[in-house]
Structure 1
């Protein structure tokens, strides 16, 4: 599987419940947030919603409530999206000028999802959808990773306080809701 937007990214499953991960360049924060929100909105619309394409929010909305993108809906409804990434190690290495390549256990990917949500807990709000950006680091978007996360942490994730938590991979087919 490869990431979106022409980034040099790939994931291959290997024996022993692990994946080989290779990540090329890191997208800009705005690029990552908007792309993640666009894919999430496409998935929600595929499921019957009627959201307009999302837009990046102004800086005051980010500072006050952590909202990165918003989409308009029918009857004046607003879809508020906060985006965060579960990938930290690859971005740290790429920031140092190196490419990132590693073999990572699926359980470590599951734990990275939990940590990413925990980091955003203080910004949780019942009006905000949390989108975990796995667009440019798609190992986290594997169905087996999402299923394991749900099996282990769904009750905890529901109690964090977001309206919904979504794992957003590089295509609509890899967008998975982590909270029912």
Structure 2
């Protein structure tokens, strides 16, 4: 694996670890608070998790791994059930980890061509766009941690350096 693909694989592993820690923390939130409008871009913790499922896993993964551009709204509620959504997010994050080692190194130098949710055809640098996927998820996980804090719940540490320390100690599962 090239250094660039190794870095993207690191980002994918961190992404899955951060989801695990965040979803464990969210499990302690009451159903009412989980669905409460907290002023997030996708309003509630549930709405934001659904957006992450749509954006990262149902749109971007399909674009990268299958070359398809599904027609989904970014605010679609694809999974109303909290437990099933949690399982889908965990499984979807693991798919990136499994897929990245299959990527030919030359792919990093190319583009990703896709159709946006508004029907616009776009061609962007492949590597930068994949990095965007993980940064985007980090952004929305940060919104959820702010909601947890506002609701009086402890906030998990999700920083990359803590993941690196946990991975080094063999404690990332």
TM-score where L is the length of structure 1 = 0.28
TM-score where L is the length of structure 2 = 0.28
Q: Which has the higher helix share?
A: 2
Q: Which has the higher strand share?
A: 1
- The structure, 1 or 2, with the larger RCO (C-alpha pairs under 8 Å, 6+ apart) is 2
Which protein is bigger by CA-based radius of gyration?
2
